[in-house]
Structure 1
């Protein structure tokens, strides 16, 4: 079954209700109209039978005269014709005798004062022909009135249905938006966000309570994992720092010793492990959402210019060319140090993972609702099916020991972007890689 939006489901529901109402109202009108027609035909038969029972022609004429004087028959007209077709009774004047049986006619039949009627013509004793005509103008007026009543009732019912559906849609949409805001906040790192409850005990409140309980459980598990990871990191960081200091002291005393290169390698690897622990600690702090309290107004273009000036010598030393384009004013709210780290990580990644001579471009563009940061290079690039892998924690395309980096640079960038409520996208620069980050003006 194809997915449908809430609005689409509501439109289908209203359409079905409208179709059902039209069918019911149409059936009511048809039944009532048919019942009136049956009653008219029954009346014509009764009057014709009453006249025919008179028997002789003169008695039938007398019966017709009495019926025409009767108030109850004021909407009935009679015409009696002898064997030769000459009218011998009744006040009804017809241009021609109607066909035998039932027939309908309009003003073209020339019946005085009758615009629409129903006629019953039959043979009666003495070889005469009797026509009884009913004036249906009153029935037509009743039909028109019934049609108006049906349409007014249909319109009022549809207003009630549409109003009720709109109110129900508004309430459901309001609840869904509230839940979506909570989900977005949790995805952005604010694990304290919860779906508001009204305290009415309604189905929506019970759903919100269950959703909040789930978030409480997830938050508790995340805190347990985070605290355990931090404890492990802290416990390991101190002995590693002491080990690093001892290796550094040994390196200083090992000048000329054959083991000096191995000691230097051990010291370098220890520094990498310490850097890894530092990066993980920063990542956990960012994902916790607490840094959002440090948000302040800033200009992303200014930060980009600062990163360009500080990293241009680094790029030149490695044989890369770094350029800054489109750095106009791009105001937004954010954490200044984290955005600086984001810029440094992106530029250093481009320098580290592209060969010398590669051009690297840094650009900032203001958007109506925020700013766009673009870092692109003309290096070997990353296959499109591996873009998600390089953002994942410890995700690296080159898994060899000699590969530079810790595999956590873009993970930190992604965490900083999500903390600011932005989006991160990797694109093919043909050749090379283009990183596009959109950040909102206000979170």
Structure 2
């Protein structure tokens, strides 16, 4: 989609082109109209001079030229009568050159005293005589440049008014879009109470803001309802599961056979898995609510990641795997240390649990501008692009991992933590293996 600036520049360019073409067309049309009116006038005067005159009657023609030159309405008309050899016979002008028969244009280069631009009409007066009738198309000296300047000023003023209006409209649109974007970003960051400001006085922008806010109210209500249902189910199930686990432990302590004790221990382990699953659901609900923003502080993400790597190194070594870290000596970010440690632990454990012996897991951290990128990658089989969305969904387990322990909430919890910190968990191809990355705001 094109940016507002690009659309504004394109509109202004098209408007400037249209204004320029309109101004040029108006200017040239005015000049042509003046030339047409002058042509009609000199044709009428030529008709008057030659009307009922015998061919070649130079005396009558010269007498009429003299009469018309003295009249007020035709005193500005130039006349010239020449013979077949081009000899000047009479009139009030003497042309340096012989214009062609018919209508033609005269310029200052023709060196006619008092004429800068004009029109000439040459007619055959009989027996080789030629009558030239001349009139100015610029009755005032420098009228052409003045007319051009007036056209430029007039259309320039229109262009400036439209330019100013477009800039003001663009700023208004930009501000409205900025309000909507900042509201959307605040909601993504967890502030579900944020709404678009409604302009006073009503109008289209106010109606749009009201409709957008109503949509947000509805979305927040649905999200809150789903979150409450999920949290309520998880919370209500934990109590009976805890009681069931306590009873199973008492039965295991009183077991009379090894087989009975083993079965009860297996049932207790399944209860623990269910309790962990419900705990993870409640944890995700807590993170998505945005209430953990209050715990944000400046922390060293490198030190936090090193603790995670050190705690998992014995498990990796025992499974014949290798885990290492690639990061600068220190890098401070703004966030919740407990949640970020949980996210790193989930990603690293996920990498170790889904790779075979001999696999290598690497935790890397680097900063770019105002964001720090944290990645956990392995050299295992990875996740196909079509399955990555499913892997980030709650309880979304791929077919290849259904036989492994777990409940499909590790990656969704890491994603929720990443979103709380203004980013998102992105799964990519490590070539081979899986790369899971999220970004954090660098502390100022």
How high is the TM-score relative to the length of structure 1? 0.91
- Report the Cα distance in structure 2 between the residues aligned to 1:172 and 1:423, rounded to whole angstroms: 29
Match of 2:170? 169
Task: State the shift of 1:413 in Å.
Answer: 0.3
Structure 1 residue 13 corresponds to structure 2 residue 11: yes
Query: What SS is found at the alignment partner of 2:39?
Result: helix
CA contact (8 A) 2:42 2:135 kept: yes
Tell me the distance in 2 between the aligned counterparts of 1:118 and 1:40.
7
- For residue 400 of structure 1, report the CA deviation from its aligned partner: 6.6
Residue of structure 1 in register with 2:46 after alignment: 48
- 8 Å Cα contact 2:335/2:421 also seen in 1: yes
> 310-319 or 164-173, which moves further after superposition?
310-319
1:412 Cα deviation (Å)? Answer: 0.3
Give how far 1:362 is off: 1.4
Q: Evaluate the alpha carbon distance shift between residue 354 and residue 48 of structure 1 in structure 2; reply closer, same or farther with a 3 A threshold.
A: same
Summarize the alignment of residues 42-441 of structure 1 with structure 2, pairs less than 5 Å apart.
42-53=40-51, 55=53, 57-70=58-71, 73=74, 75-81=76-82, 86-95=87-96, 97-107=98-108, 109=110, 111-124=112-125, 128-136=129-137, 138=139, 141-254=142-255, 256-398=257-399, 402-441=403-442
Instruction: Find 1:37's aligned residue among 25, 35, 38.
Output: 35
Distance 1:134 1:439, change over 3 A: same
Shift of residue 283, structure 1, vs aligned partner = 0.6
For 1:83 and 1:323, locate their aligned partners in 2 and report how far apart those are by CA, in whole Å. Answer: 109
Tell me the CA shift for residue 148 of structure 1. Answer: 1.6
Call closer, same or farther: CA 1:313–1:118 in 2, change over 3 Å. Answer: same
Instruction: Name the count of aligned residue pairs.
Output: 441
Q: Call closer, same or farther: CA 1:329–1:74 in 2, change over 3 Å.
A: farther
Unaligned runs of 5+ in 2: none
Q: Distance in 1 between matches of 2:385 and 2:108?
A: 81
Q: CA deviation at 1:275?
A: 0.6
- Structure 1, residues 174-231: CA drift from partner, whole Å, max 9, x if none? 1112112222222333222211223321211221112112222222232223223322
Give a deviation string over 1:12-37, Cα, whole Å, max 9, x none.
43344334323432332233212211
Residues 43 and 355 (structure 1), Cα distance of their counterparts in 2 relative to 1, 3 Å cut: same
1:350-402 alpha-carbon deviations (Å, 9 max, x no partner): 12111222221112212220211121122222223222221111111236763
TM-score by length of 2: 0.91
Q: Give distance in 1, aligned partners of 2:97 and 2:310.
A: 109
Deviates more, 1:6-15 or 1:215-224: 6-15
Q: SS in structure 2 opposite 1:366?
A: strand
Equivalent-residue separation in structure 2 for 1:171 and 1:21 (angstroms): 24
Asked whether the equivalents of residues 52 and 125 of structure 1 are also in contact (C-alpha less than 8 Å), the reply is no
8 A contact 2:343–2:414 mirrored in 1: yes
**1:334 positional shift:** 0.6
